[in-house]
A and B are shown apart, each in its own frame.
Chain A
Amino acid sequence: MAFNGHQCDDESIDEDETPTKQPRSNKEMPGCFINEPKNEAAASAGRATSDRRTSNSTARQRSDSVKKTRPPFPWFGMDIGGTLVKLVYFEPKDITAEEEQEEVENLKSIRRYLTSNTAYGKTGIRDVHLELQDLTLCGRTGNLHFIRFPTHDLPAFLQMGRNKHFSSLHTTLCATGGGAYKFEADFRTMADLQLHKLDELDCLIRGVLYIDSVVSSGPSECYYFENPTDPDRCIQRPYTLENPYPLLLVNIGSGVSILAVYSESNYKRVTGTSLGGGTFLGLCCLLTGCSTFEEALEMASQGESTRVDKLVRDIYGGDYERFGLPGWAVASSFGNMMSKDKRESVSKEDLARATLVTITNNIGSITRMCALNENIERVVFVGNFLRVNTLSMKLLAYAMDYWSKGQLKALFLQHEGYFGAVGALLELLHPS
């Protein structure tokens, strides 16, 4: 406990205090209605003094035993998925001069490296707009940073950890996701790091509930689309997840997991599908020659899926009234591509769009069936497939609303892909 000079300070909690709104980017979120002027530099600089304490949820989690077991810095949570590694890092901002002195050089260097950059190497990115400032965690106040990089660059990350002598800090690295298992040996041999492996769904749920609770009074972590079936009036609105249970949690990463959550500890994985974000990107790469998610999405935003898909009206000239199918509904995804002429007339953008629509709608219909089978009316969609992907979010919102005749509500969360990593961090601080 050498680096752990401070104990949790329960007395400092003021539950009535309203946390400040934290800045978010609206640059990457075209559908967002968060209009605060944003300055990235200001965001990353943070504030020296905190007026932000904690929320009721953190208070609930805190206990005396936690004080004693507060782990040494640095505090990381990691989620190693099939495509992306998600890393959350808690940067303490309440470091005293005494602490500063005691802080070993390695720790300082890591902190500086992570907080003074927004990009790491060629592919690592810090999602500055998601940063949570003045957060009190385990009695310490600081900022929570959200960082991601492709799983295939994990070796480079491990190399960096080795170069920065990460292992000398004797920290526990809490990690979840399949990669925590797959790369456990690599962490040990390449970086001399021992992973504490955690179940990804446990972490996911813990993360979702935590993040939602800590930002519940600011611009809502959770939001939905009002008038989802009317493109002109469809706007993003905050949503309060006060009594979240039961809820269906749909995590769209490379693949998709669908969980029915009845309480923080009571959940089940209902089903999953292999048609997920990985499928979208994989097919787009094959069909268009693109190589990144951003490229694929950019193309999709410019394409027209109706040239690729066969719609009900393409077959019936209008609605298929016998079965209540509207003419605009897709009868056969990629159905027009059975014809050679049409294959030759579509653009890459059209194909990207059709791929996006196909994958998204399919997730929508499986989700809807699960919601019916489980008798749950609220669905929360998370996962990095939704990152900067308003197209899919609006499609999901539309599909849930239209096909359920307004019974189902699609909800989204600002920190869409990071909940597993947050859950892993929480496990470090409050072992369950």
Chain B
Amino acid sequence: MAEFVRVDSSTSGHTMDKSITLPPDEIFRNLENAKRFAIDIGGSLTKLAYYSTVQHKVAKVRSFDHTTKEATGDNLYEISVQEEVTARLHFIKFENAYIETCLDFVKDHLVNTETKVIKATGGGAHKFKELIERKLGLKVDKEDEMTCLIKGCNFVLRNIPHEAFVYAKHADSEFRFQTTQPDIFPYLLVNIGSGVSIVKVESEDKFERIGGSSIGGGTFWGLGALLTKTKRFDELLQLASKGQHTSVDMLVKDIYGGSYGSLGLTGDLIASSFGKSATADKEFSKEDMAKSLLHMISNDIGQLACLYAKLHNLSRVYFGGFFIRGHPVTMHTITYSINFFTKGEVQALFLRHEGYLGAIGAFLKGAEEDNPNQYSWGENYAGSSGLMSVSPDMNPMQRARSGTFDMLEMDRLEGKLVNLPLLQDASSYIPDTVDLTEDAHAREYWLYCFEEALDGVVKRAVASQPDMPEAAERAEKFRQKYRHKLQTLRHQPFAYGSLTVRSLLDTREHCLNEFNFPDPYSKIKQRENDMALKYYQKAVKCLDELSWEERQYALVRGVLAGNVFDWGAKAVSDVLESDPEFGFEQAKRQLEERPWLVDSYDQWFERLKGPPHKCAMFFVDNSGVDIILGVMPFVRELLSRGTEVVLASNSGPALNDVTNGELQILTESIAAMDPVIQAGLREDRLTLVQSGSSSPCLDLSRLDKVLAMVVRERKTDLVIIEGMGRAIHTNYYAMLRCESLKMAVIKNSWLADRLGGKLFSVVFKYEVPAPSQHSAALTPS
């Protein structure tokens, strides 16, 4: 059974103070444009969902029309901040006690009049139907609970990286997040509500309840209440976490005196749950009985889940329902049970947004005409609360969750994001090089590093909007928000999935966007682009004078030297700030001499003597010197060799990374000076694509669909990834099916130290896939 039943008399909600004042901007955001409401009312928590359109500022670049406007100074292009409307999904979770207050608030702030119905699901939907209709003036339209649950589950699995995790109580990091699988189906969802429903999900629309059990959360709660006279579910769990089941349960060793060796049953195994309580003259502690009950129920559910998984040959088993809902105690016992019964063959998986599945599903049911599944959605780290730990012993402060509003916000992304077709194994690809959730030392350093850099980012944000007097105020809000996020992550590094340098950078971008700082580096990028362009011809001329051999080396050094110009790296931004004349030549001098920290230049050079590549996909990094004086001459050489080149740049701004919009203008103006580039563009041998990302890092499993198409069409056989964010923080270990070149200068002394180098150490990693795998892929046997 799913969460069929919720018992209201057991929740303390009704005695709570309902007259809370809601901080409106922070919880029910963007209500003015809200539509497509959905609500999931459970036994104690309500989840409200709606769709809104968010107007936010984006920085756009536009070429000057040089024929008419000659007097625009030195600038190549102009930057304008425009309003853009994007779609956002809001999900808010709160205690049922606040439902009336919340509905009133929503009613007061809802401007939109188009909305006529609200989709509702969950056991409490019926009970609150009248209240919702009266308060909101919307017609309640009930949706099947299980259908909503599955729809929601598919949605989060597909759209939220690191949605699913394995729970390991005693590991360094309790939560081990799973990478998003290219194909999420088939899977088993075990929903432990008052009873248990076991659902096999085969595709978006095809699922079947293959079984269930009446021994579920309701049994724990009901039987627990009878045995211990403890009324609340949470308190029962707390009791259980303190108890000793061995005084109540009959263990194998109680019967055998030790283990049952021939069957491999260890002595500590429970032979008979409550087997020792079969006596009238002994008292048992509440804690011990609750613990025994918890084990009994968890083991039983785990065993059934395994039997069903085996029968249907499924290895992905997700657990949800109020029995699980973030409770470390039950996640642990269920995990233990699954490990025991499958000998580790099946892992128990849990979901970060498990509590939202019903609401998400109900929302999707109501939003079918908007076809939300045709887009990719991304979790907005600025607007989402992240996973809270509710462990009774881990963080007592968080036990007091009453009055807490938990939020999830998802932004609609430009298009559908897909894998890079050249990944060797998409299902095992992990973009990030270091998982800070598991590496406490690295975590501490990076959190400190981002906190240190915060002042500079705030300053830059304000400086980027000199005409706006309230920019300082917004920047301050940004500072508070991001600092708060960093603090949260310090205590709960698992809040948004695996903590990585990438997620820290992305969170910062999300927070900047939240306060309308869409592109704090726009002006800097503009100035540097203009400046670098002036040197382009000279740089190319110098290279052309070199011998072929010398030129290949100079081109690589040029890319590396260009990559030193990076406002994203503190060591460099300090220099850039204090010494704006920090020149390209000086950067070259700063570069480490060969042999580099990672140095496969000789192999690359040998390769260049061979036939040209068919097509190279170049993931570029910074604007200014990097792209213009470093990357473009390199591209030019590839074109001259007869290799087609695709330049992949960010769809949206991130730090001083060159965006697709900027790169188009830059390429055109370089083409005006350089016949090789011009011919490349004209003959369609040089193409620009957007990556689909607005991050200083690169997730090769979430790329723009067009990029993937181009990779296939052009038979790309070389992938070049440049910069610390894309080639070291991420993708350092990424394995591709074609040749790849990862080039970066390490501009962070801690990272350099980690990798065994020093500041400005060079990584030049040229990789050729192992021939066996290569030929296996090419020759069908």
Contacts and interface: CB of A to CB of B under 8 A. Distances in A.
B271 interface: yes
A332 B278 contact: no
B660 to A, nearest CB: 47
B226 A285 contact: no
B300 A273 contact: yes
Contact of A309 (B197, B214, B269, B273): B214
A125 interface: no
A331 B231 contact: no
Contacts of B255: 81-82, 177-179, 182, 254
Given A333-B195, A362-B215, 15 more contacts: A82-B254, A178-B257, A254-B275, A274-B272, A274-B299, A278-B272, A281-B278, A286-B274, A312-B4, A331-B5, A334-B218, A334-B223, A335-B214, A343-B222, A358-B214
A151 B284 CA distance: 21
Interface string B489-531: 0000000000000000000000000000000000000000000
B129 interface: no
A314 B1 CA distance: 12
A199 interface: yes
Interface string B241-252: 000000011101
Task: Find the residue from A81, A83, A181, A337 having the highest chain B CB count within 10 A.
Answer: A337
4 closest A-B pairs by beta carbon, nearest first, are A337-B222, A282-B274, A278-B272, A178-B255
Contacts of B250: 82, 254-255, 278
A209 B393 CA distance: 53
Interface in B290-323: 296, 299-300, 303-304, 307-308, 310-311
B213 A365 contact: yes
Given A333-B219, A334-B226, A335-B219, A322 B144 contact: yes
A322 B726 CA distance: 49
Interface stretch (B258-266, B409-417, B589-597): B258-266
Interface in A316-347: 316, 320, 322-323, 329-341, 343
Contacts of B209: 323
Q: How large is the interface on B (under 10, 10 to 19, 20 to 34, 35 or more residues)?
A: 35 or more
Contacts of A287: 226-227
Task: Find the residue from B222, B262, B304 having the highest chain A CB count within 10 A.
Answer: B222
B274 A373 contact: no
A177 B260 CA distance: 10
Given A178-B260, A338-B7, A358-B214, A366 B303 contact: yes
Given A332-B195, A338-B221, A369 B311 contact: yes
B341 A282 contact: no
Nearest to B293: A283
Given A323-B209, A332-B216, A278 B226 contact: no
A274 B310 contact: no
Interface of B: 1, 4-5, 7, 9-10, 123, 144, 146, 193-195, 197, 209, 211, 213-219, 221-223, 225-227, 231, 248-250, 252, 254-258, 260, 262-263, 269-281, 284, 289, 296, 299-300, 303-304, 307-308, 310-311, 341
Contacts of A369: 211, 304, 307-308, 311
Nearest to B258: A181
B506 to A, nearest CB: 40
Contacts of B279: 285, 291
Nearest to A151: B255
A341 to B, nearest CB: 7
Contacts of B215: 275, 333, 358, 362
Contacts of B281: 291
Contacts of A365: 211, 213, 304
A199 B262 contact: yes
B296 A339 contact: no
22 contacts: A83-B278, A255-B270, A274-B269, A275-B273, A276-B272, A278-B272, A282-B273, A291-B279, A315-B123, A322-B144, A330-B214, A332-B193, A332-B222, A334-B218, A337-B222, A338-B218, A339-B9, A343-B222, A343-B226, A351-B226, A361-B214, A370-B307
Contacts of B311: 369, 372-373
B273 A310 contact: no
Specify the main secondary structure of chain A where it touches its partner.
helix
B275 A83 contact: yes
A16 to B, nearest CB: 40
Nearest to A370: B307
Interface string A282-294: 1111110111000
A44 B256 CA distance: 34
Contacts of A108: none
Contacts of A330: 195, 214
Interface in A249-306: 253-255, 269, 271, 273-279, 281-287, 289-291
Nearest to B275: A278
Contacts of B299: 273-274
A253 to B, nearest CB: 8
A331 B252 contact: no
Interface residues of A, number: 68
Contact of A366 (B144, B226, B276, B304): B304
Interface of A: 81-83, 177-179, 181-184, 199, 201, 253-255, 269, 271, 273-279, 281-287, 289-291, 308-310, 312, 314-316, 320, 322-323, 329-341, 343, 351, 358, 361-362, 365-366, 369-370, 372-373
Nearest to A199: B262
Contacts of B341: 271
Given A254-B275, A335-B219, A340 B214 contact: no
A221 B276 CA distance: 32
B219 A331 contact: no
Contacts of B257: 178, 181-184
Contacts of A332: 1, 4-5, 193-195, 214, 216-219, 222
Contacts of A282: 248, 272-278
Task: Find the residue from A81, A273, A286 having the highest chain B CB count within 10 A.
Answer: A286
A397 B262 CA distance: 32
A83 B255 CA distance: 9
Contacts of A179: 255-256
A86 to B, nearest CB: 14
Task: Find the residue from B271, B277, B303 having the highest chain A CB count within 10 A.
Answer: B271
B273 A274 contact: yes
Contacts of A341: 9
A275 B337 CA distance: 14
B10 A339 contact: yes
Contact of A279 (B252, B275, B307): B275
